[in-house]
Amino acid sequence: MRLTLEEVASGLDQPVAITHAGDGSGELYIVERTGRILVMSSDGTIAPDPLLDVSDRVDTQGERGLHYVAFHPDFASNGRFFVHYSSPDTVSYIVEYRREGEGTVARESGRTVLRLEKTYWNHNGGWLGFGPDGYLYIALGDGGGDTPGDPFGNGQKRSELFGSILRVDVDGGDPYAIPPDNPYAEQGDGNARAEIWAYGLRNPWRASFDRATGDLWIGDVGQDTSEEVDVIPAGEAGLNFGWSDVEGFDCHNRPDCDPTRYVAPLVTYGTDEQGCAVTGGYVYRGSAYPLLTGGYLFSDYCSGTIWGFDAQATMDAGEADLQRVGDTDLFIVSFGEDEAGELFVVDLGGTIQRITAAAR
């Protein structure tokens, strides 16, 4: 199986994500790391006015910037959407905005949902999205450090939000409520944060829900040895993916650890061998290319290689039959999906590419 790509937009300022609002409009939204969210019509035309411009509130040094946007399931009627960005003072923000009418949303109108103070500029995570259950899921990195290896041990601290996938109800409280079936919703479980759905992650930059099954697929950027693709099967809570006790299948910060205590990745590949930073992708559920149906596609930022594997067969077997399906010279920083399930590739160098063919 080989993929080909077709450029649909160029001249963008460090694009990092593309997504849809689920409102039937056919529009796609392009996130620029420098602070804008652009609106692209189904014919590829980009509107002159962005949906949002928070360029004066973000810092693009290191791994900081505007990371992602997620649209409320009822965006068509309520106009609500949520962004994740990093400020110059190393604070990570989740902010809600509301679109009313046409034109650019006033940045002053935002409501802060989560403010997370960090000591360092790196390992912010980045992705957020609504699950099939209507709750907002937020991917956060371990908080980084000036030395490698999770110096604060945040990956295994359930008392911290770092290194976790959070799950919150943005319709049930101010700024949010805790879903009652979150694994640590009952405060009797020590000092674990009730927002946590899963933990033990280093830097989950990109993730996505399989629209057919509800499984959550995560690309977790590695440290020294292993890039990972992890999965949270639909409805499974409290999974511990092991960082920073383990990296991939091997002990990391704890030489005497037992790797079998943690949820193993479905895919690993060597850092500096096949790339340097995994870019999580999507399970293909579109209709244009039946050969791709049920296949999970992902990439690496440094190599530009696109790999694929059968998602369900991999979950059943616990390991992937990994296929190299595309070679590019792009800095692939994200994948995106339109409302019909067709897939796009985001190139930090300034372009959006549509996956246009799949042939053996």
The Cα-based distances of 332 to 55, 65, 291, 292, 353 in angstroms read: 22, 17, 23, 19, 10
Give the architecture (CATH level 2) of 2-359. Answer: 6 Propeller (2.120)
| Domain range summary for the chain, segments of one domain joined by + | 2-359
In 3D space, the residue among 344, 320, 347, 323 whose CA is nearest the CA of residue 333 turns out to be 347
Q: Output DSSP code: residue 271.
A: B
- Encoded amino acid at 107, one letter: R
Looking at residue 360, its pLDDT comes to 60
In 45-160, beta strands by DSSP E? 52-53, 66-71, 80-86, 91-98, 111-117, 128-130, 136-139
Closest C-alpha to 223, from 168, 167, 268, 276: 276
Separation in Å, CA 346 to CA 25, 81, 123, 337: 21, 21, 20, 11
pLDDT of residue 150: 87
Strands (E), 72-139: 80-86, 91-98, 111-117, 128-130, 136-139
What is the structure's pLDDT at 358? 65
Q: What is the rounded CA–CA span in Å between residue 208 and residue 324?
A: 20
Contacts of 189 (CB under 8 A, 6+ apart): 183
Q: Which residues is 9 bridged to in the sheet? A: 352
Across the chain, which distance is largest between two alpha carbons, in Å?
58
How, if at all, do strands 323-327 and 332-337 pair?
A: unpaired
**What pLDDT does residue 34 have?**
98
pLDDT in tens, the chain (360 residues): 789 999 999 999 999 999 999 999 999 999 999 999 999 998 889 999 999 999 999 989 888 999 999 999 999 999 999 999 999 888 999 999 999 887 889 888 899 999 999 887 788 899 999 999 999 999 999 988 877 888 888 999 999 999 999 999 999 999 999 999 999 998 656 789 999 999 999 999 999 999 999 999 999 999 989 999 999 999 999 999 999 999 999 999 888 899 999 999 999 999 877 899 999 999 999 999 999 999 999 999 999 999 999 999 999 999 999 999 999 999 999 999 999 999 999 999 999 999 997 666
CA 17, 21, 26, 27 torsion: positive or negative? negative
CA 106-112-118 angle, 5° bins: 120
Angle at 337 (CA atoms; ends 15, 358), nearest 5 degrees: 105
Q: Which two tokens stand for residue 31?
A: 């996130």
pLDDT score for 62 = 85
Q: Round to whole Å and give the CA distance between 234 and 197.
A: 12
Give CA 219 to chain center in angstroms. 7
**Helical (H) or strand (E) element with 351:** strand 351-359
What's the pTM value of the predicted model, to 2 decimals?
0.97
Beta partners for 19?
Answer: 29
Taking the C-alpha atoms of residue 168 and residue 173, their distance in angstroms, rounded to an integer, is 10
